[in-house]
Amino acid sequence: MGIENAGSSAPESWHRVADVAELADGALKPVVVAGNLIVLIRIGERYGALDNQCPHAGGPLAEGTLEDGRLICPWHGREYNPLSGKCEGYDQPVRAYKVEVRSDGIYVAL
Ligand code: FES
């Protein structure tokens, strides 16, 4: 099952980042993908992957909270769409990556 969200148009390379069982519903899991720190997010059967660093002042989004389908930055409370990375009220999204759930794990495209 593939879940698509925002991504760049550059050539993609897919990286296996976790077992499906590692990510419970509502989980925020920091993972390193090709040297980039990314937060992997599960909301029900939907998955997101965002840069871990909040674009406002660098807050660690993996230490944030999920509330009503939004990811809240732990430092100043900006609210992000955990799938698209769009920021409510600010024109400063966090970079989002494509995620796929495959039979052998969760993959993120860079
Ligand atoms: S660092 Fe995230 S809202 Fe300020």
Q: What is the CATH number of the domain that holds 37?
A: 2.102.10.10
Any ligand 1 atom below 6 A from CB of 78: yes
Q: 52 C-alpha vs ligand 1 centroid, how far in Å?
A: 11
Looking up tokens 């976790």 gives 18
The verdict on residue 62 lying in a domain is: yes
Domain count, the chain: 1
Q: Is residue 91 part of a domain?
A: yes
In a domain, 53, yes or no: yes
Query: What sign does the dihedral 19-22-108-48 (CA atoms) show?
Result: positive
Q: What is the pLDDT of residue 11?
A: 80
Q: Which of 92, 20, 2 is nearest to 50 (CA)?
A: 92
Residue 36, in any domain of the structure = yes
Model pTM?
0.89
In a domain? residue 2: no
Nearest alpha carbon, ligand 1 atom 4: 76
Whole domain around residue 33: which residue ranges? 14-109
| Residue 69 Cα to ligand 1 middle (Å) | 18
List the structure tokens of 108: 């993120």
Quick: pLDDT tens for 22-62.
Answer: 999 999 999 999 999 999 999 999 999 999 999 999 999 99
Ligand 1 contact, 94 CB (< 6 A): no
